[in-house]
Homo-oligomer: A and B are copies of this chain.
Amino acid sequence: MSKIDPARIWSLNHRLLMAVISSVASDITALGLETKELFVLADVDAHPYPAELAASLCIPKPSVTLYVKRLEAAGFLRREIDTVDLRRHRLQLTPAGRKVMQQGTSLLSQAFGERLGRLSATQQAELRVLLEKMS
């Protein structure tokens, strides 16, 4: 076995993710959604405030502002001032937003699942454990 090279593993991984995302990009935009916007939608439940989203997704704040604005205009997101902290804007998926988010993640699941399918169920579970350990 060759020596473990982190950069090599990283690169392998990066290439994999890029290939998957670019293979579904056109299908996602067909939903009326940009891929980056899908990431935001998919993370709103876990991180309902723009600042949290920016940190969680490694996206600059102005970008989040922009995406949220577009998602709200499209009717996928609602935004209300937090009652406790008047600076904060609590975000919430609308039913339409939840639906399109599920469709989008389903596309991603399908494309990535194609690759995942090359692994046994045990290996898939193992992969998840390894990734969680590193997160």
What residues of chain A have their CB less than 8 Å away from a CB belonging to chain B?
Answer: 1, 4-22, 39, 42, 56-58, 105-106, 108-110, 112-113, 115-116, 118-119, 121, 123-128, 130-135
Contact = CB atoms under 8 A, between A and B. Distances in A.
Contacts of A18: 57-58
A128 to B, nearest CB: 5
With a 10 A CB-CB cut-off, give which of A5, A7, A106, A110 has the most chain B CB atoms: A7
B126 A126 contact: yes
Contact of A134 (B119, B131, B132): B119
A108 B4 contact: no
B15 A56 contact: yes
Contacts of A42: 7, 11
A14 B18 CA distance: 9
